Amino acid sequence: MVSPLPVKGSAPRHGDIWGARAADWAANEEQQLPTYEEALRRVRLSEGDAVLEVGCGSGVFLRLASDRGARVHGIDAAEALVALARQRVPEAGVRVGDLQFLPYEDDRFDLICGFNSFFFAADMVAALREAGRVAKPGGQVLIQVWGRPERCDLTAMKQAVFPLGPPPPPDAPAQLRLWEPGVLERAVMTAGLAPLDAFDLSYAFEHPDEATLVRLTLAPGLVVEAIRCSGEDAVREAIVESLAPYRRPDGSYSLENEWHFLVARA
């Protein structure tokens, strides 16, 4: 059964902010290939598997999974990112929508991935339950979240920039410490899924110069909200100051971040 149309999802808010600087966000996504490679290594994709990415952004993971023989589908709140994903992966079925209210029938996909997306749902557990609904029985759901803050160079940027944004909407979900052992496991079990494999992965985003660092770091949705609230100059200054410790003598930047993953079975 396909879910009824959303009545109270987070897609209108996130579609607006994540689509605002779509091309620059897409350049960030292109730096995340180590995440996508490791995800596919862990889930052992088979030729012809039906794969859905929720919060698919500009489709970098969909491109990789399709090249590995999967039949790929994606959904994202941001129309501008969906347009880029359709260009990048013309053979994919990519739709605009809310990951908490999936427009797919029950038991359809072998694998559902949410790379840094499930926690943007109005109700993350409901979004995980929805992923379980559209997964085939025994299918896998892979979830990526931020790793331990002290192992993420971008923590400094988030601490400097997010206070420049608006206060969270009154109905925004509580921020859980999803990287802590057991927290994501409890969420997936509440959603009716069985945790299988938790792991961490660390790698660096590389930027050749300050201009590139700033352009790409101005693109994530929550940074766009801070720009709208406090102005681009204030946000730009906060980015450059907070990330100064990661600047090399030649002016390039290397930002190492840890990511936490859980694979669950439907």
Ligand X SMILES: C[S@@+](CC[C@H](N)C(=O)[O-])C[C@H]1O[C@@H](n2cnc3c(N)ncnc32)[C@H](O)[C@@H]1O
Looking up tokens 């969420």, which residue turns up?
Answer: 187
Segment lying near ligand X (by CB under 6 A), choices 5-13, 63-71, 170-178, 253-261:
5-13
Q: Is 225 in the site for ligand X (CB under 6 A)?
A: no
Segment lying near ligand X (by CB under 6 A), choices 3-11, 42-50, 63-71, 87-95:
3-11
Q: Which residue, 215 or 247, is less far from ligand X as judged by CB?
A: 215
Q: Is 259 in the site for ligand X (CB under 6 A)?
A: no
Instruction: Write the CA distances from 118 to 15, 79, 86, 201, integer angstroms.
Output: 14, 18, 21, 18
Given 85, 121, 156, 263, the residue binding ligand X (CB under 6 A): 121
Segment lying near ligand X (by CB under 6 A), choices 95-103, 168-176, 195-203, 230-238:
95-103
Q: Write down the least CB distance from residue 250 to ligand X, Å.
A: 27
**DSSP bridge pairs for 111:** 51, 140
Q: Which of residues 32-91 bind ligand X (CB under 6 A)?
A: 32, 55-57, 75-78, 81
What is the four-CA torsion angle of 79, 32, 102, 223, rounded to 10 degrees?
Answer: -50
Q: Write down the least CB distance from residue 10 to ligand X, Å.
A: 4
DSSP string, 118-169: GGGSSSHHHHHHHHHHHEEEEEEEEEEEE--GGG-THHHHHHHHGGGSPPPP
How far is residue 66's CA from residue 119's CA, in Å, rounded to a whole number? 25
User: How many residues bind to ligand X according to rule CB under 6 A?
Assistant: 24
How far is residue 211's CA from residue 105's CA, in Å, rounded to a whole number? 45
3-class SS at 230? helix
Q: Is 29 in the site for ligand X (CB under 6 A)?
A: yes
How far is residue 208's CA from residue 195's CA, in Å, rounded to a whole number? 39
Q: Which residue, 116 or 247, is less far from ligand X as judged by CB?
A: 116
Given 11, 145, 226, 266, the residue binding ligand X (CB under 6 A): 11
> Number of H helices and number of E strands within the chain?
11, 7
Q: Which residue, 15 or 195, is less far from ligand X as judged by CB?
A: 15
Q: Which residue, 92 or 99, is less far from ligand X as judged by CB?
A: 99
How far is residue 202's CA from residue 188's CA, in Å, rounded to a whole number? 23
Helix (H) or strand (E) run with residue 223 in it: helix 221-230
Given 20, 52, 94, 98, the residue binding ligand X (CB under 6 A): 98
Q: Write down the least CB distance from residue 81 to ligand X, Å.
A: 5
Q: Which residue, 115 or 205, is less far from ligand X as judged by CB?
A: 115
Residue nearest to ligand X (CB): 55
Most distant CA atoms of the chain, gap in Å = 57
Contacts with ligand X, residue ranges (CB under 6 A): 9-11, 14-15, 18, 29, 32, 55-57, 75-78, 81, 98-100, 115-117, 120-121
